[in-house]
Amino acid sequence: MAKRARVIYNPTSGREAIKQNLVEILAVFEEAGYETSAFATTPEPDSAKNEARRVGREGFDLVVAAGGDGTINEVVNGIAPLRRRPRMAVIPSGTTNDYARALRIPREDPVQAAKIVLKDQRFKMDIGKAGENYFINIAAGGLLTELTYDVPSNLKSVFGYMAYLVKGAEMLPRVKPVDMDVEFDGETYKGKASMFFLALTNSIGGFEQIVPDASLDDGKFTLIIVKPGNLPALLHLMAKALNGKHVNDRRIIYRKAKRVKVKPVDERVMVNIDGEYGGDAPMTFKNLHRHIEMYANLDKMPDDAVVASDPEVQEAERRFAEEVDQIPDDETDLDD
Ligand SMILES: Nc1ncnc2c1ncn2[C@@H]1O[C@H](COP(=O)(O)OP(=O)(O)OP(=O)(O)O)[C@@H](O)[C@H]1O
């Protein structure tokens, strides 16, 4: 029987880029040997997820998630619980496109993104399970969580993670460290933390240095716990994170872990999963090793200058650096 592919696309995302190129995109998957059909998502919740699950159950061989990060996350959530899971491909058309960045898939032209399938390069990617939800990029609690809800989406789209940082500088006085127990692969952190995050890729909001050594299929999350600090201390840490120098900073815990449990002692901690609210802690996070087979561009590409070359991101970086520069060094110590 011919291999079957379903392109699940968000007709509204990225100025309708996918919709406008749909005929060509379908032709690419046909050329790759798939009998290909398309499904346009609707505004109803879980539309992409339900369709992905349906075709997965029907035995389709490939599901193509075409849209923004939200659509891709839904497709993953649709197929992740299935025993027999179809392969996945990604055509980015949203604004941040973190997954496409991590998979080195072209982000400007959806037809070029589709053509990655013709290289026939695939690998089995780790995904995370957070409570009952699945994620492929990041789960976070504390500062980052609040920021994601507060940053207007147009700002988020232009500046990516930089927007979180700039906005974060304004919000930090409101961010209270929370007492929590974090268990990770037999170790425990007990104490106050400003934020924690668990990353699967090294691309978070278009910001590639936060997890400089992330591997997509090592079976482990990169866990970062940010210990409490005053406003300048945290800003300083973020400035270091801009060039990946935070990994050995004593104000954070930086570990690889397969299983992480976060338990706040008595306060509410909202958990952000791939950019959306995903429930409250206590929550257990599991790394599902090599769970989804994914088409990617596995050729070694030149070091990504992508973020740095974006003038808007550069401007955000400059503004952020200015703010951090105004902080006297002696204020950057921990206040715990
Ligand atoms: N036909 C549609 N009409 C209106 N909204 C839709 C439709 N299909 C999906 N949506 C909504 O689009 C959202 C998902 O957007 P998606 O992540 O694909 O793109 P984006 O928001 O442009 O990208 P990004 O997340 O990268 O900013 C979901 O909230 C979903 O309900």
**Within a domain: 164:** yes
Cα of 11 to ligand 1 centre, how many Å? 8
- pLDDT, tens digit, for every residue of 316-332? 555 655 655 554 444 44
Query: Tokens 């919740």 correspond to what residue?
Result: 45
Separation CA 45–CA 25 (nearest Å) = 25
Q: Can you give the pLDDT at residue 207?
A: 42
Q: Is the predicted pLDDT of residue 196 greater than 80, yes or no?
A: yes
**Within a domain: 321:** no
Q: Is the predicted pLDDT of residue 149 greater than 60, yes or no?
A: no
Q: Can you give the pLDDT at residue 156?
A: 42
CA distances from 243 to 92, 142, 210 (A): 26, 22, 8
Domain check: are 152 and 273 in the same one? yes
The atom number, within ligand 1, closest to the CA of 45 reads 31
Q: Is the predicted pLDDT of residue 11 greater than 90, yes or no?
A: yes
Cα of 153 to ligand 1 centre, how many Å? 12
Q: Can you give the pLDDT at residue 6?
A: 98
- 146-163 CB burial, b ≥16 within 10 A, e <16: bbbeebeeebbeebbbbb
**Within a domain: 195:** yes
Residue of the CA atom closest to atom 27 of ligand 1: 95
Ligand 1 neighbourhood includes 51 CB (under 6 angstroms): no
Q: Which of 89, 120, 151 is the last residue of a domain?
A: 120
Q: Can you give the pLDDT at residue 152?
A: 47
Angle in degrees, 0-180, between the axes of helices 47-57 and 69-79, rounded to the nearest 10? 40
27-31, 174-178, 196-200: range with highest mean pLDDT: 27-31
> Band of the pLDDT at 159, cuts 50, 70, 90?
very low
Domain check: are 163 and 239 in the same one? yes
Query: Tokens 């306060």 correspond to what residue?
Result: 267
Cα of 10 to ligand 1 centre, how many Å? 6
Separation CA 298–CA 87 (nearest Å) = 16
Q: Can you give the pLDDT at residue 146?
A: 54
Nearest to 21 by CA among 69, 74, 73, 91: 91
Catalogue the active-site residues. 276
User: Strand pairing partners for 204?
Assistant: 207
Domain check: are 65 and 114 in the same one? yes
**Within a domain: 301:** no
Query: Tokens 């409250």 correspond to what residue?
Result: 280
- pLDDT, tens digit, for every residue of 219-270? 999 888 877 765 555 556 655 555 555 556 677 787 889 999 999 998 888 8
Q: Can you give the pLDDT at residue 258?
A: 96
Separation CA 234–CA 227 (nearest Å) = 9
Domain check: are 7 and 108 in the same one? yes
Probe residue for ligand 1, chosen from 7, 8, 9, 12 as the CB with the greatest number of ligand atoms within 8 Å: 12
Report ipTM (2 d.p.): 0.95
Domain check: are 187 and 74 in the same one? no
Angle in degrees, 0-180, between the axes of helices 13-20 and 22-31, rounded to the nearest 10? 60
Domain check: are 107 and 155 in the same one? no
Domain check: are 186 and 271 in the same one? yes
123-135: average pLDDT: 93
**Within a domain: 296:** no
Percent of the chain with pLDDT over 70: 67
Name residue 316's amino acid.
Answer: A
Separation CA 188–CA 174 (nearest Å) = 27
195-203: average pLDDT: 75
Cα of 66 to ligand 1 centre, how many Å? 10
Domain check: are 257 and 144 in the same one? yes
What pTM, to 2 d.p., does this model score? 0.80
- pLDDT, tens digit, for every residue of 62-107? 999 999 888 999 999 999 999 999 999 999 997 767 778 778 889 8
Q: Is the predicted pLDDT of residue 39 greater than 80, yes or no?
A: yes
Ligand 1 neighbourhood includes 95 CB (under 6 angstroms): yes
Percent of the chain with pLDDT over 90: 44
Ligand 1 neighbourhood includes 137 CB (under 6 angstroms): no
The atom number, within ligand 1, closest to the CA of 95 reads 26
Probe residue for ligand 1, chosen from 13, 73, 95, 96 as the CB with the greatest number of ligand atoms within 8 Å: 13
Instruction: Work out the widest C-alpha separation in the chain, in whole angstroms.
Output: 69
Separation CA 82–CA 84 (nearest Å) = 5
- pLDDT, tens digit, for every residue of 260-299? 999 999 888 888 888 778 889 999 999 999 999 999 888 7
Q: Can you give the pLDDT at residue 261?
A: 97
Q: Can you give the pLDDT at residue 138?
A: 82
Strands 270-273 and 138-142: antiparallel
Domain check: are 284 and 142 in the same one? yes
What DSSP character marks residue 336?
Answer: -
**Which tokens sit at 145?**
């969580």
Name residue 297's amino acid.
Answer: N
Strands 87-92 and 62-67: parallel
Domain check: are 81 and 141 in the same one? no
**CATH number of 173's domain:** 2.60.200.40
Query: Tokens 């300048």 correspond to what residue?
Result: 232
For 323, residues 6+ apart whose C-beta sits below 8 A from its C-beta are 166, 169, 235
Q: Can you give the pLDDT at residue 166?
A: 52
Cα of 149 to ligand 1 centre, how many Å? 16
Domain encompassing residue 59? 3-120
Q: How many domains does the chain have?
A: 2
Residue of the CA atom closest to atom 16 of ligand 1: 68
**CATH number of 9's domain:** 3.40.50.10330
**Which tokens sit at 61?**
């061989």
